[in-house]
Structure 1
Amino acid sequence: MSSYIVRVAGCDGSTTVLLELDDTEAVAARRLAEAVNAASRSGCEPRMRIVAEAEATPIDREYLDRSRDDPL
């Protein structure tokens, strides 16, 4: 199992989560992200990013930190 940062974002907002995924789940999540991104026809339709936590950029980490700090 490895940790992955998953972000879904559109014009009106975004959601970022940290998930523990095994290799099979990570492949499926990446396939889902590719399909969502391919179907997204405008800048406002949601897009999805999945990245291993170990490979995350500072921006990926910032979005994750923001999502943790947002009150419901």
Structure 2
Amino acid sequence: MADAPQIQISPDRELQQLPLVVQRLKERRWRVGELLHTLLRYCEEAQTHILPRDEAPQAGRDTQRTPLFQWLLEHA
């Protein structure tokens, strides 16, 4: 499990979006499999945006990834 991506949630702003995410998923009647598929997509996208340790960020390149709950709201 050492290669598994980590999902970090800051306790304040991001976590406050959880009720809205739950509501959106309920409205769309998502099942566990659909949520899992979407979470895997989020992890894959996050992996493609990780810079190698020896590579410096380029000007204009966004090194911050979208927080999980915000991403779910945009893609649900």
TM-score (norm 1): 0.32
User: TM-score under structure 2 normalisation?
Assistant: 0.30
- Bigger relative contact order, structure 1 or 2 (CA pairs below 8 A, ≥6 apart): 2
